[in-house]
């Protein structure tokens, strides 16, 4: 099926949705997605959501993601979040993270932390880290430190270093400075307090500077 035919199917799907023929719209959008227009499914999923058809919107969003257009999963996560449907929001956030869109999990973690639910925030950040969000571990370390869990903060910060996320540890300040005020050695051990006659070679993650 050529590109023009796919585009025509997408346009027909949109027209059908505008006429409230959602079943036909979904069928046409799926046909368009199967050739070269997965965005047709995302558009029709949003139309279903706005029409008060959340189950159908969810199915279409998952189908769109499977065809290479996962953004609707993030959209549904935030829509459910605003409706105080928190479990559903987290479900869609995790689903979108599976397609590489990890920021939604991170955003929900910020919201949970803001309401005082630090345990849930950490669970979401751990999930985001599992899916590769680069700043998730640094933020867990910060949260642990703010909760006076110094050992936990140190462990998570080291885990971030081991995974190559050092550039994001500046987000966890003052954790970095407090845990290792003189820097850290290439082997991962804290740099000892320097003597006047010999300053050791120290290294700091991008975004921070050496401590004088």
Which fold does the domain 1-69 belong to in CATH?
1.25.40
> Distance between CA atoms of 157 and 197, rounded to whole angstroms?
30
**Which pLDDT belongs to residue 168?**
62
> Distance between CA atoms of 56 and 61, rounded to whole angstroms?
9
Kindly give the interhelix angle for 103-114 and 136-146, rounded to the nearest 10 degrees. 10
**Which pLDDT belongs to residue 202?**
46
Q: Whole-model pTM?
A: 0.75
* Domain limits, the chain: 1-69
pLDDT < 70: residue spans in the chain: 1-2, 164-177, 186-188, 194-212
* pLDDT tens per residue across span 145-183: 888 898 888 888 888 777 766 656 655 555 666 777 777
**Which pLDDT belongs to residue 141?**
87
**Which pLDDT belongs to residue 159?**
83
**Which pLDDT belongs to residue 194?**
67
How would you write 81-150 as a 3-class SS string?
A: HHCCCHHHHHHHHHHHHCCCCCHHHHHHHHHHHHCCCHHHHHHHHHHHHHCCCCCHHHHHHHHHHHCCCH
Strand partners, 195: 198
* pLDDT tens per residue across span 179-198: 777 777 766 677 777 654 55
């Amino acid at each position: 099926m050529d590109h023009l035919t796919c585009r025509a199917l997408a346009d027909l799907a949109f027209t059908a949705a505008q006429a409230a023929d959602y079943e036909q719209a979904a069928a046409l959008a799926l046909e368009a997605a199967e050739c070269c227009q997965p965005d047709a499914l995302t558009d029709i999923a949003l139309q279903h959501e706005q029409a008060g058809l959340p189950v159908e919107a969810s199915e279409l969003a998952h189908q769109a993601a499977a065809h290479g257009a996962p953004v609707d999963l993030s959209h549904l996560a935030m829509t459910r979040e605003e409706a105080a449907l928190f479990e559903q929001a987290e479900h869609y956030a995790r689903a979108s993270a599976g397609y590489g869109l990890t920021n939604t999990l991170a955003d929900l973690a910020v919201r949970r932390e803001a309401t005082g639910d630090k345990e849930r925030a950490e669970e979401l950040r751990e999930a985001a880290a599992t899916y590769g969000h680069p700043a998730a571990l640094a933020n867990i370390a910060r949260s642990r430190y703010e909760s006076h869990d110094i050992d936990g903060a140190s462990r998570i910060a080291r885990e971030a270093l081991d995974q190559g996320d050092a550039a994001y540890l500046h987000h966890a300040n003052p954790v970095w400075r407090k845990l290792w005020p003189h820097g850290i050695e290439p082997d991962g051990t804290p740099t000892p307090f320097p003597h006047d006659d010999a300053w050791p070679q120290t290294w700091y993650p991008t975004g921070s500077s050496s401590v004088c």
